[in-house]
Structure 1
Amino acid sequence: MTSTDQLALLDTVLAKAKAAGADAADAVIGSSISLSLGERLGAKEKLERAESQDMGLRVFVGHRQAIVSTSDFTKSSLEELTARAVAMAKAVPEDPFCGLAEPAQLARNWPKLDLCDTTEPSEAMLTDLVRAAEDAARSVKGVTNSEGAEAGYGRSDVAIAASNGFQGAYASSHFGLSVSVLAGEGTGMERDYDYSSTVYLADLDDPVKLGRSAGERAVRRLNPRKAKTAVVPVVFDPRISNSFVGHLVGAINGASIARGTSFLKDFLDKDVFAAGIDIVDDPHRQRGLRSRPFDGEGLPTTPAKLIDNGRLTMWLLDCRSARQLGLVSNGHASRGTSSPPSPAPSNLHMAAGKISRDKLIGEIKQGLYVTEMIGSGVNGVTGDYSRGAAGFWIENGELAYPVSEVTLAGNLKDIFKAITPADDLVFKYGTNAPTLRIDGMTLAGA
């Protein structure tokens, strides 16, 4: 079904909803195709292909709303869908904050973001990728076993229409490649991995380099030691440093702010990070993994600094959370077919700092370089932070030996203020950050 066909179908559904008694309505169609393939030790373990399409309809009767979804697009099914949605809306409690965006808020044009690669890979193409990656990983001296390699492709088409006059559609693609291997023998085995995720097939990391990286990471982790409990500087590898950006956006989600359940609820327009720290949400990045031309309610999307020179500048808002807070949505609504819109970020990154990674580590006499985090012990209400970690002990500015089974603890309010970013930012994930040093974290070890 083309985007034109999708929008025409949505118009028909909206008209049926209005005829059934809805005061207003919006609807979304999502269709997807995916192909994934996995091999282990050169033998195929997984080959899956899936295709789906769903429609979600949200109707409003006064200040009441209801949402229904279906994968059956026949005329009789859609008539039943609209009638059921209106009947449900009439029966639920009122929500004074629900409703569509005002027509003046809507996006009328949007940028082209180069989000869809028309290449659909064959099984043979994915097989070549996973074999090259796993073979390269297993060729690293010290690697003794493999958890396998996987490659995948997906395409998603989204169309949104609403009775306030909005209509929009776009398509996006996704390619991924990952490999995980083990080094050592018996109880002394260690595991590590690497992966690449892109919008275009041509932008995937070279599978041989990816595999070697995974193998070398696993071997470096052999024979880990225990670290003693201490308060030390901790450096986070870019593979996991982005988690701190994720903790920030969770705390500035408008829904959490409206409920009063965020440790940053009183910090708007205040310093949250140290001076010089910028964190950017950029929905318009070309070929960005989370780019979007408009948001889930048809509002325009705009690049913005969430943190500007250490200061928190905004909440992430959809229409409902904005109304709760007496504000205006800033185009961060995200939605699926079976749930109402809710605030969510797009492409996030913390800007690079002015110090090299080597110098960031070189200034540390005793500390920890973290390459893996375990668990999710973060309290979004208080900001308390406690997570398992593994990595390498730093002695006199050098990575000395692998360390495992330690716990890092603190409070995110203090952690954010203590962050120093290196200058090695690379855009590889949906959320990106350079190497980060956090001074004065509590390390619980032996």
Structure 2
Amino acid sequence: MSETIDSAVLEQRAAELVDQARRAGADAADAVVVRGRSRSVSVRLGKVEATEASESDDFSLRVFVGRRVASVSANPGFDLKLLAERAVAMAKASPEDPYASLADPDRLAKSYPDLDLFDSRDVSTETLTERALAAEEAALSVTGVTNSSGAGASAGMGGLVLVTSHGFSGSYMATRFGCSVSAIAGEGTKMERDYDFDSRLYFHELRTAEDIGRVAGERAAARINPRRVATQKNLTVVFDPRIARGFVGHLAGAVNGASVARKTSFLRDMMGKQIMKSGIAVTDDPLIVRGASSRPFDGEGVSGSKLSMVEDGVLRHWFLSTSAARELGLETNGRGVRGGPSVSPASTNLALEPGSISREDLIGGVGTGFYVTELIGQGVNMVTGEYSRGASGFWIENGEVLYPVSEVTIASNLKQMFMALTPADDIDRKFGIAAPTLAIEGMTLAGT
């Protein structure tokens, strides 16, 4: 992105907004600006279907009057004094929240590292168009591919400016580039669709458009003429890495401190207990240089550090913001995320660490099983851990991936799945949630 990034003006305006809140009667306040710029191109069958661009600087003010809190949002150009007075009036009329406050001053970041999150390269709309067209062309050139659902390329940047009434002022920006394509293989009622994509902070680190298109086409073609299989119990199910990332996302939700405090997590009573096999680790690190979800400080100005969320199979941490931590009698670990005016805990660069076995050997040791490449539906109960999803993928027999399978359902309980998983060694850490291929024993497959 060629735009010069100067957050000084936004920081000054945020500081003025906090000062106006104090003048209006707030005991404490913070102001945040979420900056966003994006540009995208979508194509289909060699023609540009749409080009889009957006820009925004969204201001939010959070004020505290005793234990009462209120938040307001505004676009640039608002009246500082009027917005601050409105927020304070709302807070005075709000019920008390015993856990709401700014982060403790001694937890605020005094300095923070440059994580190299911003690519200053100017990527034009023409370049994005060429990238999308090349990806689609590569997909269409794969034998068996008969049509395209479209391709796209995007460039954007986003960042955070935060100013608090107790001395914190900081900002950071990050860029993001992406390319995706969806291919259709087969004809008539036997058409199958699949996709591939890539997303990186730096444009030159993206996989080539030709590679993305080829993989999408090959995935779609491999799914032609799927078979049905019989219902089976105690089956080993292997999750493709892109499916495994979503599976690890369920863990992130279960160890979210806000969910634990609300008692809506099936792991709420498992702190310090074994939730995975010995030897398995899950980490979360906000300070990875060029990490997809890296940030030098969180949405409350607190520095985070690398956490071993699961160590040797034992659960060691929740994701905590200040309010969630206080509700649990703990201290924040710098995982607060601004969602407009509110702050909630969330993961950063979360990784289920790889094992020592290759993907090929992992599948080879399965015997009979099911390799999942797509999941359908939202059949996950985060309170009980019950898991039931529609799925498609490939059948494994004698350790070999043989033929495509569709219209089945896989089911188990997430607690059991966590304890039964074995990771391969093929992790890609370029995503905010990273996971290798996973084999999970003892699942039920509902088929014919």
Name which of 325, 330, 334 aligns with 1:331: 334
Cα RMSD over matched residues? Answer: 1.0
Give the TM-score of the pair, scaled to structure 2: 0.98
2 CA distance for matches of 1:387 and 1:120? 42
Name which of 342, 345, 348 aligns with 1:346: 348
Name which of 13, 19, 28 aligns with 1:15: 19
* Partner SS for 2:143: coil
1:402-427 C-alpha deviation (Å, 9 max, x unpaired): 00011110001100000000111122
Measured after TM superposition, the shift of residue 284 of structure 1 is: 1.1
1:101-130 C-alpha deviation (Å, 9 max, x unpaired): 111111101111110111231111001101
Amino acid corresponding to residue 411 of structure 1 in structure 2: N
Name which of 161, 176, 187 aligns with 1:174: 176
2 CA distance for matches of 1:18 and 1:344? 29
Q: Does 1:254 align with 2:254?
A: no
* Partner SS for 1:173: strand
2 CA distance for matches of 1:411 and 1:120? 47
Contact 1:300–1:331, Cα closer than 8 Å, also in 2:
yes
Measured after TM superposition, the shift of residue 78 of structure 1 is: 1.5
Q: Does 1:385 align with 2:391?
A: no
2 CA distance for matches of 1:259 and 1:148? 42
Taking the TM superposition and a 5 Å limit, the aligned residue runs for 1:27-426 are: 27-74=31-78, 77-231=79-233, 232-337=235-340, 339-426=341-428
Measured after TM superposition, the shift of residue 304 of structure 1 is: 1.0
Contact 1:56–1:336, Cα closer than 8 Å, also in 2:
no
1:187-208 C-alpha deviation (Å, 9 max, x unpaired): 0000000000000000101110
Contiguous gaps of at least 5 residues in structure 2: none
2 CA distance for matches of 1:249 and 1:389? 22
Amino acid corresponding to residue 67 of structure 1 in structure 2: S
Measured after TM superposition, the shift of residue 89 of structure 1 is: 0.2
* Partner SS for 1:67: strand
2 CA distance for matches of 1:342 and 1:411? 26
2 CA distance for matches of 1:237 and 1:425? 11
Amino acid corresponding to residue 113 of structure 1 in structure 2: L
Amino acid corresponding to residue 75 of structure 2 in structure 1: S
Measured after TM superposition, the shift of residue 365 of structure 1 is: 2.2
Measured after TM superposition, the shift of residue 54 of structure 1 is: 1.1
Q: Does 1:440 align with 2:420?
A: no
Contact 1:101–1:164, Cα closer than 8 Å, also in 2:
no
Amino acid corresponding to residue 441 of structure 1 in structure 2: M
Contiguous gaps of at least 5 residues in structure 1: none
* Partner SS for 1:33: strand
2 CA distance for matches of 1:11 and 1:264? 40
Amino acid corresponding to residue 354 of structure 1 in structure 2: S
Contact 2:16–2:80, Cα closer than 8 Å, also in 1:
no
The number of aligned residues is: 443
2 CA distance for matches of 1:276 and 1:182? 41
Give the TM-score of the pair, scaled to structure 1: 0.98
Measured after TM superposition, the shift of residue 171 of structure 1 is: 0.6
1:66-117 C-alpha deviation (Å, 9 max, x unpaired): 000100334xx22110010000000010001100111111110111111011
Measured after TM superposition, the shift of residue 37 of structure 1 is: 0.2
2 CA distance for matches of 1:109 and 1:9? 21
Amino acid corresponding to residue 248 of structure 1 in structure 2: L
Contact 1:196–1:428, Cα closer than 8 Å, also in 2:
no
1:279-321 C-alpha deviation (Å, 9 max, x unpaired): 1111111111111000100101111111111010011110001
* Partner SS for 1:234: strand
* Partner SS for 1:107: coil
1 CA distance for matches of 2:283 and 2:373? 24
* Partner SS for 2:357: coil
Amino acid corresponding to residue 387 of structure 1 in structure 2: R
* Partner SS for 2:216: helix
Closer, same or farther in 2 for the Cα pair 1:299/1:59, shift >3 Å? same
Contact 2:292–2:349, Cα closer than 8 Å, also in 1:
yes
Residue equivalent to 1:24: 28
Percent of aligned positions that are identical: 53
